[in-house]
Structure 1
């Protein structure tokens, strides 16, 4: 098994290779505006670090969000393209699940909450019983609106760090890592579990909209 994992659902552009036992190469850069520019060089970098070619990959793992439309689609389209070219399966995993899994061993056991920055003064979030067990569906809300639900719970993720009034016990990790996604996927696949389809989890409409008074110009 050689899994190529990637995620662009948060400001982190993150890529990793996993051989079925452990992560053998990884790269993460935080830049919310350069997902498309940074992703492919990161793939090249981890392959070179591992001394492998792309055609050695036997499966793709991609974070499906939730995340902003522009960044999220970069990773998903790249994963789909790799899967098509290589003829290998493409597996989706919730980005929040990757963050929860990465919290294992950091002192966070459960229950806890994972929250990432959704912009517009909102967070993408979900509750977890432990680093491997999600207890609620991913959602997007204003922090003040969920304060009662998450009260008293430790929280991980950049969204939690941004709103200390709602998440006073915010902890690392801040961003998801492809290494955590790959390790979680390898664990699930080894147990015979079926992973999600690589489809985006947006939770809301994209920021870019066609103006309401847009004038359609047709040829005469």
Structure 2
């Protein structure tokens, strides 16, 4: 099956095309990434179309969509998840939502901490044992993240805050997103992992 992958939970605006064989083997056919925390809305569609073109496919060739559901900032997640849902509806194909941290952690081995930028001097984090999530996702100041990991992956500047050997995975990848899907038979409803309230708040006049 040909799968479109989308992730906008981090500053990387990622779109990819992955072929998943009947035996579960995954091959990334194309990937377009723009690293810009303010360009999710502007860059996602061009990246999707570019990845499809690079793979030599059209939207009609897609059998499903896999999208990262965070944790991440409100605006970024909304762009990615709304786009994934729109593609799924328009093409009548299933949409599979996964934890974006899982898309990084699933390809690791040993005790690994995965962190991404949560702003406000905090990180989104989850801990993995041989690719399976054993704790999180959650949001905390780096000093409050529970200990126990032997290595760290994810956002380089935030991984550097932990005195652990660093692994290569930085952002969710197309093959990682596909590998993070737990159930191919029945996609679960798409639920964003905000983990906290959005930064923007209604004014007093609006609340009244």
Contact 2:113 2:149 in 1 (8 A): no
TM-score normalized with structure 2 length: 0.89
Q: Deviations over 1:119-160 (max 9, x none)?
A: 0000000110112x11013000011112xx2256211011x6
Q: Deviations over 1:80-112 (max 9, x none)?
A: 00111111111001000001134x4xxxx2111
Using the TM superposition, give the Cα deviation of residue 113 of structure 1 relative to its aligned residue in structure 2, in angstroms: 0.7
Name the CA shift for 1:19/1:216 in 2 (closer, same or farther; >3 Å): closer
Tell me the SS of whatever aligns to 2:86: helix
Look up the SS of the partner of 2:135 in the other structure: coil
1:200 aligns with 2:192: yes
CA distance in 1, matches of 2:207, 2:140: 35
TM-superposition CA deviations, 1:39-83 (whole Å, max 9, x none): 000111111112211011111100000000011110000000011
CA distance in 1, matches of 2:206, 2:57: 52
User: Is 1:214 matched up with 2:196?
Assistant: no
In 2 relative to 1, CA 137–196 (structure 1 residues): closer, same or farther, beyond 3 Å? Answer: farther
Whether contact under 8 Å (1:123, 1:141) holds in the other structure is: yes
What TM-score comes out, normalization by structure 1 length?
A: 0.84
Which of 55, 60, 79 lines up with 1:55 in the alignment?
60
The whole-number CA distance in structure 1 between the counterparts of 2:157 and 2:185 is 33
Structure with the greater alpha carbon radius of gyration: 1
Structure 1, unpaired ranges of 5+? none
Structure with greater contact order relative to length (CA < 8 Å, sep ≥ 6):
1
More strand by share: 2
Q: CA RMSD in A?
A: 2.1
Query: Is the 8 Å Cα contact of residues 23 and 183 (structure 1) preserved in structure 2?
Result: no
Aligned to 1:3: 3
Q: 1:138 to 1:196 in 2, by over 3 A?
A: farther
Distance 1:52 1:85, change over 3 A: same
Match of 1:173 among 161, 169, 182: 169
Change (3 A) 1:122 1:216: closer
